[in-house]
Structures are given as structure tokens and as C-alpha cells.
Amino acid sequence: MSEIFDEIRQEGFERGFERGFQQGFERGFQQEFERGLERASELGEERALLSCAQSLMGNLSFSAQQALDVLGVEEPRRSRLLAIL
């Protein structure tokens, strides 16, 4: 009887571990996926701002500061874009 109880307990432990592992993996994957989407969105916005700033600088002879002022870019993004421009 004790052997049967031990087998049932071990099987329950293994099933629980597998379910917990799977749920943890799925949650972690979802969180990383969402972070990746957020970062991709930020990079896309920065590229668009750079393109617009470069157009203002080239077409209207704005300085990098003036172009970012017109575009309403604030810190900390402003510093990153100024370093690139």
C-alpha cells in the first residue's frame, strides 16, 4: 500500500512540476515578447524623429536643437538623438 501511495505522490509531483514549468515558461515568454514589442516601437519612434529632424535641418537650415524643439522631443530621448545627429 505504501508503494502505491508513493507512486501516486511521485506522479502528482511530476505532473505539478511539468505544469508549473510550462506556465512559468509561457509567462516569461509573453513578458519578453511584450518587452520586445515595446522596444521595437521605441526604436521606430526614434528613427521617425531622426528622419524628421534631419529633414528640418536640411530643408529649413535648422540646428539639431531647433529641429528637436519643433518636434517636441524631451529628455532623455533628446540627448540620445542629439548624439546621433
User: Tens digit of pLDDT for each residue in 6-28?
Assistant: 777 788 778 888 888 888 888 88
Mean of the per-residue pLDDT values of the chain:
88
- Which residue range forms the structural domain that includes residue 11? 2-84
* Grid coordinates given for 80: 540620445
Q: How many separate domains does the chain show?
A: 1
Output the pTM of the full model: 0.65
30-55 in b/e form (b: 16+ CB < 10 A) is eeeeeeeeeeeeeeeeeeebbeebee
